[in-house]
Amino acid sequence: MSALPAPGCDDLAASLAAVVGAEHVLADPELRASYEVDCVGVRRGDALLVVRPADTAEVAAVVVACREVGVALVPQGGNTGLTGGGVPRGGEVLLSLRRLDRIEPVDVDAGQVTVGAGATLAAVQAAALASDMELAVDLGARDQATIGGMVGTNAGGTRVLRHGSMRAQVVGLEAVLADGGVVERLSGLLKDNVGYDLPGLLCGSEGTLAVVTRVRLRLVPRLSHRVTALVGVGNTSDALAVLRRLRPLASLDAAEIMWDDALALVQERVGLRSPLAGRHAVYLLVECTAMHDPTDELAQVLGACSAVEDVAVGQDAAGRAAIWALRHGHAESVVIGGNTVKLDVTLPLGRLAAFESRLRAVCARREPDAVPLLFGHVGDGNLHVNVLGVPPERTGELTDEVLTLFAAHGGSISAEHGIGVAKRAYVRLGRSAADVEAMRAIKHGLDPRGMLNPGVIFAENHSSKLR
């Protein structure tokens, strides 16, 4: 990591300090360090400076100051993103949005709340609960992930099958454009069809089109009863058969899939016990929530399903947490695993079983000593494919083959983590030439000089200096 500031850095630091205060402009490599590497320690890069504005006006002034001296910006929230979009590539100003963490009072009439982009998911969940409502998105990184970052990636998580991804929760937002202008759509009106849907466009734009500063979120009523079940079945097709039977339940809130080899590894590495007496080839984690106790309706469906081999039910908080720990332990085990091919993809559910066996065959042929670790949000077709123990020099070849296989099975090469820098070489596997050109035109229209997050989504835009 370079300790030497780039030429002109002192002038820029001074003008940024005039905007945000000197203590919020970090030039010291030690102070910058935690912002310059992602949370799994895979992607890192030197920032010219780290700047931490406190509100929208300061963000706009920072953007203008950087634009004047021709330095690009990388927006960063909680830095839990897994595709490298929120860490510098080298020489940009790292724009941390974490200080924009104000949560306004919940609007109970509308069932909405306006929050700063830097508010964490956990803080917004707590604020909603205090008003007897819920934000209908949940994911394992809830204590660090910010609402701005979740808009940036159009985050998914465990409740998408019932409530949709982050885009479905965003009623409006405020954002700073690449020229420092501010767009604001925070009225909360559900019917407001004046021109293009800019908030929808910014969801999933990964900091490349604008910097999100405030977000108006839809909330849902808090459902008082919750039950979680771990269901053991004999194979992937049986898991899908159980899921088909569960879909008509209005209370179905989450459906996750895990395979026995991965679960055994998780139990060993993270030290967890399964509540099921025996082992099964595949496991479904199912959660139902309702204003009444959904245990009976869940039991009725599972009881009538011949594919079900065994069920463990968690009705109290401890029982539910023990089942979810097995699922969340998968992410932890991947990190412990090191040398990982780590892919986040979606498949049409009808192709999941066939795809799984092809994938295992590819891994066995290419990397017989590696360990495939699959799990996912099966309710929406989202699979996390991890292959542990692949030598670094061969991860690229395996990634190429697996992503090509996904595309050939009608899947998407990015389900919920975005493209970032990790998958920018593969965008054409998921989008036609015309589609990519339309996206480039939007990028060029909103950010003609490549000021915001260069190198993310579109590889050849990478340049810390503006063109």
Applying CB under 6 A, which residues contact ligand FAD? 39, 74-82, 85-86, 97, 117, 139-141, 144-146, 148-150, 152-153, 155-157, 206-207, 211-212, 331, 416-417, 453, 456
Separation between Cα atoms, residue 143 and residue 135, nearest integer Å: 14
Separation between Cα atoms, residue 266 and residue 162, nearest integer Å: 27
Residue 203 CA: distances (Å) to CA of 73, 128, 414, 416? 18, 21, 14, 11
Residue-wise burial string across 185-201, b where 16 or more C-beta atoms lie within 10 A, e elsewhere: bbebeeeeeeeeebbee
Separation between Cα atoms, residue 374 and residue 390, nearest integer Å: 15
Closer residue to ligand FAD (CB): 218 or 417: 417
Number of Cβ within 10 Å of residue 404's Cβ equals: 14
How many Å separate Cα 340 from the centre of its chain? Answer: 18
Q: How far is the CB of 359 from ligand FAD (least distance, A)?
A: 20
| 389 and 369 Cβ atoms separated by less than 8 Å | yes
Q: How far is the CB of 160 from ligand FAD (least distance, A)?
A: 9
Length of the chain equals 467
- Which helix H or strand E contains 221, and what residues bound it? strand 220-221
Q: How far is the CB of 242 from ligand FAD (least distance, A)?
A: 22
Q: How far is the CB of 155 from ligand FAD (least distance, A)?
A: 4
| 53 and 100 Cβ atoms separated by less than 8 Å | yes
Closer residue to ligand FAD (CB): 320 or 417: 417
Q: How far is the CB of 426 from ligand FAD (least distance, A)?
A: 17
| 81 and 176 Cβ atoms separated by less than 8 Å | no
Separation between Cα atoms, residue 88 and residue 73, nearest integer Å: 8
Per-residue DSSP letters for 303-360? HT-TTEEEEEEE-SHHHHHHHHHHHHHHHHHHHHH-SEEEEEEE--GGGHHHHHHHHH
Q: How far is the CB of 106 from ligand FAD (least distance, A)?
A: 21
Can you name the residues that pair with 183 across neighbouring β-strands? 175
Q: How far is the CB of 205 from ligand FAD (least distance, A)?
A: 7
Can you name the residues that pair with 71 across neighbouring β-strands? 465
Q: How far is the CB of 304 from ligand FAD (least distance, A)?
A: 30
The token pair at 250 is: 């209005």
Closer residue to ligand FAD (CB): 61 or 211: 211
- Which residues lie closer than 8 Å to 94 by C-beta, 6 or more apart? 32, 35, 36, 47, 49, 50, 51, 73, 74, 76, 87, 88
Closer residue to ligand FAD (CB): 210 or 313: 210
Q: How far is the CB of 256 from ligand FAD (least distance, A)?
A: 10
